[in-house]
Chains A and B, each alone.
Chain A
Amino acid sequence: MGLFRYIVKRFLLFIPILFGITLVTFTITYFLPGDPAAVRLGGSPSVEALEEMRIKMGLYKPVWERYFIYMSDLLSGDLGKSYLTDRPVLYEIGDRVLATLELSFVSLFIIVVIGIPLGVISAFKKNSIIDHVARFVGVSGISIPSFWLGLVLIFLLFYVARIFPPPLGRLPPGIDEPARITGFYIVDSLLSGDLETLKLSLYYISLPAITTALVNLAPITRMTRSAVLDVLEKDYIKAARAAGLPERQIYKDALKNALIPILTTIGLSIGFMISGSIVIEKVFSWPGIGLFALQSIASNDHNPIQAYILIVGLTFALINLLTDIAYGFVDPRIKYG
């Protein structure tokens, strides 16, 4: 029952953060430039029409009342409408969020498959050549701006070498998207047996995914390395050696005990990939929520911006909550209560 109480307590601590996130989101939106009424009406409306629209949209109500309306809409699942398309923001985002997630998952897969083994090897072979290379690659990775890396890769691998496709989104123009089942093109085309589309969607996702992975590889490799090193220096590892356990077993222990910090970093990476997607999506014209947010900022469409910041904040906070809870499950020393 201790674990249950621990989880409940985590959730309770989560509530003020949720509240804070909505507060920040609302404040930013409140100060966004542009007249929502003008955007909503479009064209060059008359002064009277503008005034009428402003009253209708509640722009003259006091701040606290607008926040209250925002919160009550939010609690009923209403993120407002896009002024431009007049569609609910929820639908607009729903159309695009899977593109962002698909890209993030593919990148995450690359990161986990490469980053964790690399970190483990450089910890076990500390100060070897592999370690130095891994560390240098790691530091370089966090030092390269993702948008620049994307552009350079596009230039080299698309314009010059012609290996990768142009940065034009999820599929080449003129190709229909696969029948919508999950919204992930790779999964959908696989499920509907459309191998041609599967190949194309893998081809088109490869370069943006590689770029995202390269930029996010460093933290995982680093964290894995330092977590494993940290464990290797512990007394109980020395004791295990003194007890004559085979090195293989000792490495296994070290890996197992280093798992929690590694999991935390993976969680954080997902958050960073979602926030970093705003740049990658712009570079690769990837039709995800980041690109949508940028377009909304450019056209002063307030509700989608508000929704975007809210969703990213919530995702980030939720990941933090989940890693906290994961600690409770894995580490027997956590004192519940």
Chain B
Amino acid sequence: MDRENKTLTVPKTKEHPLRKTWRSIDYSWYVLRKNNLTLAGFFMIVFLLFLVILSPVIVIYDPYETDSDNVLSPPSWRHLFGTDQWGRDIFSRTIVATQLDLFIALTTVLASASVGAIIGAVSGYFGGKVDLLMQRVTDILLAFPSLILAMGIMAALGASFWNLMLTQFVIRIAIFIRVARGEMISQKENEYVEAAVCSGNSTSRIIIRHLLPNCITPVAVMTTLNFGYAILVTATLSFIGLGLNPPTAEWGLMISDGASYLVLGAWWLSIPGAFIVLAVLGFNLLGDGIRDLAG
């Protein structure tokens, strides 16, 4: 049946490129619709991005301005999510934190994905000693649970924004190198590569035009699935004091602040926590959908 299924596909006809693009958008939309969970994930991310875009309008309080008369107040019309132990507006802080956490996750994951994919692809294509060395390096990086590696690097470098960016980049570059390398090695065996070599294409052209596009899919799936994890790492590191420094408005730090006042109520930590869950869940549901689409 599998065999029949594969051969019975629609015969390929020449399509207008615009129509082809439309078809793929249409197909992605179909996948989203077909799977309610993926659709839910999509809307979660859209919602958060919407808040980020609207932030100049909706962040009416300075997230760092303290107000000693109005400490640990519960939600009200003045302060939608209440205030924290220094009287800072939690709503404003949460939105600013959304910006920051999403920024860190998106930039570092995309950076390690692109750098890792190129290193992995090149090392897989040429093989040899460099490849062997690369493999050992990834083996060693992957020998540690990434949270522990992140914790160690942050402990050594000290908590700060740029150190966190660097750490996030380092801890997941190995996995991208490995995925791209594996894919490149299996793609390299294909006959079309030989055909391309025979028809006189240069090596760089073969890699860029023929092989890389075919290695993109697994890397892309990996990338989406890593966005959520990157957010968790940022928040976790900040929570244990090894990510960003107070008074930065960041989800993990806000939870860490709120934890000290847990006896007085859960507002101070439930809001930023809910945002973390929303963001991570959104990316994970979306990543699952993309994986189904690719596989």
A and B touch in the complex (CB under 8 A): yes
Bound CA span A17–B142, Å: 10
Question: Which of B21-29, B195-203, B272-280 sits within the interface?
Answer: B272-280
Q: CB-CB contacts of B28-52 with A at 8 A, as 1s and 0s?
A: 0000000001000000000000000
Bound CA span A148–B272, Å: 9
Known: A139-B284, A312-B148, A316-B144. A147 touches B255 (CB 8 A): yes
Question: Which of B70-78, B102-110, B114-122, B263-271 sits within the interface?
Answer: B263-271
A136 at interface by CB-CB < 8 Å = yes
Question: Which of A47-55, A96-104, A109-117, A274-282 sits within the interface?
Answer: A274-282
B262 at interface by CB-CB < 8 Å = yes
How many of A's residues come within 8 Å of B, CB to CB? 52
CB pair A28–B280 under 8 Å, yes or no, is: no
Within 8 Å CB of A64, what residues of B?
A: none
Question: Which of A36-44, A152-160, A168-176, A254-262 sits within the interface?
Answer: A152-160
Which of B232, B266, B285 meets A155, CB within 8 Å?
B266
Among B136, B152, B284, which residue has the most Cβ atoms of chain A within 10 A?
A: B152
Bound CA span A32–B242, Å: 12
Question: Which of A3-11, A18-26, A242-250, A324-332 sits within the interface?
Answer: A18-26
Known: A152-B270, A297-B155, A309-B152. A145 touches B235 (CB 8 A): yes
B10 at interface by CB-CB < 8 Å = no
Bound CA span A279–B139, Å: 25
Q: How far is the CB of A113 from chain B (nearest CB, A)?
A: 24
Within 8 Å CB of A27, what residues of B?
A: 156
B143 at interface by CB-CB < 8 Å = yes
Within 8 Å CB of B255, what residues of A?
A: 145, 147-148, 151
Known: A143-B281, A294-B240. A20 touches B156 (CB 8 A): no
Among B143, B157, B252, B263, which residue has the most Cβ atoms of chain A within 10 A?
A: B143
Which of A20, A147, A155, A159 meets B236, CB within 8 Å?
A147
Interface residue SS majority, chain A: helix
A129 at interface by CB-CB < 8 Å = no
CB pair B284–A275 under 8 Å, yes or no, is: no
Q: How far is the CB of A115 from chain B (nearest CB, A)?
A: 17
CB pair B242–A16 under 8 Å, yes or no, is: no
Bound CA span A117–B259, Å: 35
Bound CA span A279–B196, Å: 52
CB pair B140–A24 under 8 Å, yes or no, is: yes
Interface residues of B in 130-179 (CB under 8 A from A): 136, 139-141, 143-145, 147-149, 151-153, 155-158
Interface residue SS majority, chain B: helix
CB pair A20–B148 under 8 Å, yes or no, is: no
Closest B residue to A296 by beta carbon equals B155
Which of A152, A159, A275, A293 meets B273, CB within 8 Å?
A152
Known: A23-B140, A31-B157, A33-B158. A148 touches B147 (CB 8 A): no
Known: A20-B136, A143-B277, A298-B241. A151 touches B259 (CB 8 A): yes
Which of B147, B266, B276, B285 meets A276, CB within 8 Å?
B147
Band of interface residues on B: 35 or more
Interface residues of A in 153-207 (CB under 8 A from B): 154-156, 159
CB pair A151–B269 under 8 Å, yes or no, is: yes
Interface residues of A in 269-321 (CB under 8 A from B): 271-272, 274-276, 278-279, 282-283, 293-294, 297-298, 305, 309, 312-313, 316-317, 320
Within 8 Å CB of B258, what residues of A?
A: 151
Which of B140, B147, B284 meets A17, CB within 8 Å?
B140
Interface residues of B in 227-269 (CB under 8 A from A): 228, 232, 235-236, 239-242, 252, 255, 258-259, 262-263, 266, 269
Closest B residue to A147 by beta carbon equals B239
26 contacts between A and B (CB under 8 A): A17-B139, A17-B143, A24-B141, A24-B149, A28-B152, A30-B156, A31-B157, A33-B158, A132-B37, A140-B277, A143-B228, A143-B284, A145-B252, A147-B236, A148-B235, A148-B273, A148-B277, A151-B255, A151-B273, A274-B145, A279-B239, A297-B155, A305-B152, A316-B143, A316-B144, A316-B145
10 closest A-B pairs by beta carbon, nearest first, are A20-B140, A275-B145, A31-B156, A143-B281, A148-B273, A143-B280, A28-B152, A155-B266, A275-B148, A28-B156
Known contacts A24-B141, A309-B152; 17 additional CB pairs below 8 A are A16-B139, A17-B143, A28-B152, A29-B156, A30-B156, A33-B158, A135-B37, A142-B280, A143-B228, A145-B232, A145-B239, A146-B236, A147-B255, A148-B276, A155-B266, A282-B240, A309-B144
